[in-house]
Amino acid sequence: MTATARQEALLEVRNLDVRFKTAQGEVQAVSGVSLDMQAGECLAIVGESGSGKSQLLMACLGLLAANGTASGSVRFAGRELLGSSERDLNGVRGTGIALLPQDPLSSLTPHLRIGTLLTEGLLDRGLATRDEARQRAMRALEDVDISDPAARLRQYPHELSGGMRQRVALATALMCGPRLLFADEPTTALDVSVQARVIELLRGVRDRGLGVLIITHDLGVVAGLADRVAVMYAGRIVETATTAELFRDPRHPYTAALLAAVPRLDDSAQSRLQGIAGDPPQPADRFSGCAFAPRCDYAVDACSVQRPELRSIAAGGGTVACHRPLAAGAAAEAAT
Amino acid sequence: MAEALAATAPVQGLWTDAWQRLRRSRAAIVAATLLLLVIVLAVVGPWLSAYTVEQVDWSQATLATPPSLANGHWFGTDANGRDLFVRVWIGTRMSLLVALLSTLVSVMIGVAWGATAGYLGGRVDDWMMRFVDVLYALPYMFFVIILTVVFGRSLVLIFLAIGAVGWLTMARIVRGQALALRQREFVEAAIALGLPTSTIIARHIVPNVLGTVIVYATLTVPQVILFESFLSFLGLGVQEPLTSLGRLVAEGALEMESSPWLLLVPSAVLATILLCLNFLGDGLRDALDPRQRT
């Protein structure tokens, strides 16, 4: 990687491993993940439940459960986050990296008013006076299209609808002026029309120059928002590509299968949805080879013996971890 | 001002909700009204009589006169010729004071201790709760008696001694709740916002357990009153010429054959307070239980 040619990465993850000690032994949730993010870029991490994508975010913010450990390196704006003290992490959380939690119904403390929730980050750090914080909170609510912000500040979370709560959560996350936003499946708990608004707002956030790292299993969200995509399977990144590239030319059989599994509006009602045969591996399972091999249509003997490393392919800057990547254009032909 | 606006808001908050349910429980309302009456009498009662706590009325034929409206001793006089009406309300005042202050002390220590242990979890939790277990193992009574013997008998000490032992159960209850709360997503969101641990405990955890705490506190008050009565009965509690309900009952018990009113009057007041608090605690528990919400 030529560091001089590129601008300094906002977030730089190198060889991140996340392990959990459980009663059944050690479980590895994330293995050797590396990724880079620039300011003003939206990266989506896609994968099935249990692929380790949420734990990746939690590890970056130092929010792993007590039995979890992370190793490797996570650098934010040049600062190493792994192994930092709680105090140092608190200097980054909220002000450097903010988190938009998954479920807006439970991510706002129920007995606190919206105004308190919005302003506490600023007031606690002494970044603003009460009046200033209030003004900024009102502006933050306007930014996420919430009407009558002055009245909202006095309301409690349960007085708002789910979509509004997610927008309030977004406003809260942005209050202390972070440079990077982690969005953990931000649209999962919302209905489709509300999802579209949240995606719209997140796009606005990116356009303001923040980095947005979004985790999702919804490829529609990816298509509407992300600049680049990383596909995770069983704790590893198996493919990275620009969004256009990925949708046009998936190179990893898993990615191709994921795309094929998306129901399409123009499918006839009779056609069967294409699932992926088999189940994703349990995090406790260990593989010497490719974790996807047992479910892969293209697998050969070598696949279950030797693990494919992530290597770059093509000129587009995409990478894939597969012994037998699909040829460019192969998936498009198969789909038609 | 914010409070006033919230009260007029169409959708109700947790507390308005609870208040409405409490108002629907007749037992709780009757209990609260009676309790209020007792408190008012405890405050103004002594001034209503022509006598004082210490004053011996030599004008009566015997020292212990039965209750009578004519001579102004509405509840009679005790074996030393002192007006029982005044003494009962002074005693009630003292008992309620001990009960409320001790409960306050135990709530403050218990909530802080339990919330910290439960939220931090892990080894800190282990150590903090083992400390509680050790104190639990000490005989409660024995501990308070040692305290009073070592530090002498003073009113403040009684509050502190009872409160200092009473917080143990509170700490356990709050710890259990905090343990469950810290798994909730809003706590994670608060951590991700970079708030310091102390703020998260104070602002995001503690208010959530207050419902349980209030209910448990109303059930603690009667216990403390009974305990103070017991201490006074042993002569370790409130000192003469002040008195408490416990002392009055103990003294009355000695004279119950010759002057039964000395036992009956303070016992009735004590029983009223305890019953009212238990009913109120019950009502509060139901009102604050979210499962009761319709």
Pick from A265, A313, A238, A299: nearest CA to A47: A238
Contact B203 A112 (CB under 8 A): yes
Is the predicted pLDDT of residue A69 greater than 80, yes or no? yes
pLDDT tens for each residue of A235-278: 899 999 999 888 888 889 999 888 888 877 776 776 777 778 77
pTM of the entire structure? 0.78
Q: What number of other Cβ atoms are within 10 A of residue B52's Cβ?
A: 14
Q: What is the dihedral of CA B200, B205, B208, B212, to 10 degrees?
A: -150
Q: Is A90 touching B (CB cutoff 8 A)?
A: yes
Helix (H, G, I), strand (E, B) or coil at B293: coil
Structure confidence at residue A139 (pLDDT): 92
Q: Is A55 touching B (CB cutoff 8 A)?
A: no
Tell me the pLDDT band of A336, cut-offs 50, 70 and 90. Answer: very low
Q: What is the 3-state secondary structure (H, E, C) of chain A?
A: CCCCCCCCCCEEEEEEEEEEEECCEEEEEEEEEEEEECCCCEEEEECCCCCCHHHHHHHHHCCCCCCEEEEEEEEECCEECCCCCHHHHHHHECCCEEEECCCCCCCCCCCCCHHHHHHHHHHHHCCCCHHHHHHHHHHHHHHCCCCCHHHHCCCCHHHCCHHHHHHHHHHHHHCCCCCEEEEECCCCCCCHHHHHHHHHHHHHHHHCCCEEEEEECCHHHHHHHCCEEEEEECCEEEEEEEHHHHHHCCCCHHHHHHHHCCCCCCCCCCCCCCCCCCCCCCCCCCCCCCCCHHHCCCCCHHHHCCCCCCEECCCCCCEECCCCCCCCCHHHHHHC
List C-alpha distances in Å: B47 to B43, B86, B88, B189: 9, 8, 12, 56
From CA B84, how far away is CA B265, in angstroms rounded? 9
H or E, element range at B263 = helix B261-288
Of A152-166, A209-223, B61-75, B240-254, the least confident? B61-75
Q: Which two tokens stand for residue B198?
A: 């102390």
Structure confidence at residue B215 (pLDDT): 79
8-state DSSP, B10: S
Structure confidence at residue B130 (pLDDT): 94
Q: Which of B6, B186, B204 sits opposite A154 (nearest CB)?
A: B6
Contact A113 B208 (CB under 8 A): no
Of A14-23, A210-219, A254-263, B106-115, the least confident? A254-263
For all residues of chain B together, what is the average pLDDT?
Answer: 80
Phi, psi of B282 (to 5 degrees): -60, -50
Tell me the pLDDT band of A314, cut-offs 50, 70 and 90. Answer: low
Q: Which residue of A has its CA nearest to B186?
A: A107
pLDDT tens for each residue of B131-152: 999 988 888 778 777 877 887 7
Q: Is A311 touching B (CB cutoff 8 A)?
A: no
Q: Which of B5, B184, B208 sits opposite A111 (nearest CB)?
A: B208
From CA A221, how far away is CA A202, in angstroms rounded? 11
**Residue B14 with chain A: CB contacts under 8 Å:** 110-111, 156
List C-alpha distances in Å: B255 to A155, B10, B182, B233: 61, 60, 57, 15
Pick from B228, B214, B225: nearest CA to B282: B214
Q: What is the dihedral of CA B163, B169, B175, B178, to 10 degrees?
A: -80
Is the predicted pLDDT of residue B61 greater than 70, yes or no? no
Structure confidence at residue A315 (pLDDT): 64
Q: Which residue has the higher pLDDT, B9 or B136?
A: B136
Q: Is A274 touching B (CB cutoff 8 A)?
A: no
Q: At what angle do helices B14-24 and B26-48 cross, to 10 degrees?
A: 80
Q: What number of other Cβ atoms are within 10 A of residue A224's Cβ?
A: 17
For all residues of chain A together, what is the average pLDDT?
Answer: 85
From CA A24, how far away is CA A282, in angstroms rounded? 12
Q: Which residue of A has its CA nearest to B182?
A: A65
From CA A107, how far away is CA A172, in angstroms rounded? 11
Q: What number of other Cβ atoms are within 10 A of residue B136's Cβ?
A: 12
Q: Is B16 touching A (CB cutoff 8 A)?
A: no
**Residue A118 with chain B: CB contacts under 8 Å:** none
Phi, psi of B157 (to 5 degrees): -65, -35
Q: Which of B2, B121, B194 sits opposite A90 (nearest CB)?
A: B194
Contact A94 B194 (CB under 8 A): yes
Structure confidence at residue B145 (pLDDT): 78
Q: Which of B9, B122, B186 sits opposite A107 (nearest CB)?
A: B186
- The B residues from 184 to 223 touching A (CB cutoff 8 Å) are 184-197, 199, 203-204, 207-208
Residue type for position B160: L
Q: By percentage, how much of chain A surpasses pLDDT 70?
A: 92
Q: Is A130 touching B (CB cutoff 8 A)?
A: no
Q: Which two tokens stand for residue B126?
A: 């282990």
Helix (H, G, I), strand (E, B) or coil at B77: strand
Structure confidence at residue B293 (pLDDT): 45
From CA A233, how far away is CA A292, in angstroms rounded? 8
pLDDT tens for each residue of B42-58: 888 777 776 777 777 66
Structure confidence at residue A4 (pLDDT): 42
Pairing of strands A11-22, A180-184: unpaired
What per-residue string of b and e applies to A103-139 under the rule 16 or more CB within 10 Å gives b?
bbbbbbbbbbbbbbbbbbbbbbbebbeeeebbebbbe
Tell me the pLDDT band of A316, cut-offs 50, 70 and 90. Answer: low
Tell me the pLDDT band of B5, cut-offs 50, 70 and 90. Answer: very low
Q: By percentage, how much of chain B surpasses pLDDT 70?
A: 87
Q: Which of A63, A110, A111 sits opposite B192 (nearest CB)?
A: A63
What per-residue string of b and e applies to A145-158 under the rule 16 or more CB within 10 Å gives b?
ebeebeebbbbbbe
Q: Which CATH number fits domain B17-52+75-292: 1.10.3720.10, 3.40.50.12780, 3.40.50.300, 1.10.287.3510?
A: 1.10.3720.10
- The A residues from 145 to 164 touching B (CB cutoff 8 Å) are 154-156, 158-159
pLDDT tens for each residue of B251-279: 888 877 787 888 888 888 888 888 888 88
Q: Which residue has the higher pLDDT, B236 or A171?
A: A171
Of A25-39, A196-210, A309-323, the least confident? A309-323
Structure confidence at residue A263 (pLDDT): 78
Query: Any residues with CB less than 8 A from the CB of A91 and at least 6 apart, and which?
Result: B194
Contact A99 B11 (CB under 8 A): no
When pLDDT is averaged across residues B29-40 and rounded to a whole number, the result is 89
- The A residues from 221 to 240 touching B (CB cutoff 8 Å) are none
From CA A36, how far away is CA A250, in angstroms rounded? 20
Point out which residues pair with A73 in neighbouring strands. Answer: A14
8-state DSSP, B121: -
When pLDDT is averaged across residues B163-190 and rounded to a whole number, the result is 89
pLDDT tens for each residue of B75-98: 777 777 777 888 888 888 888 888
Residue with tokens 């405990």: B201
Structure confidence at residue A77 (pLDDT): 87
Contact B192 A98 (CB under 8 A): yes
pLDDT tens for each residue of A101-141: 888 788 888 888 899 899 998 988 888 888 999 999 999 99
Is the predicted pLDDT of residue B3 greater than 80, yes or no? no
Q: Which residue of A has its CA nearest to B204?
A: A109
The sign of the CA dihedral B177, B179, B183, B188 is positive
Contact B199 A94 (CB under 8 A): no
Is 0.85 exceeded by the ipTM? no
From CA B189, how far away is CA A63, in angstroms rounded? 10
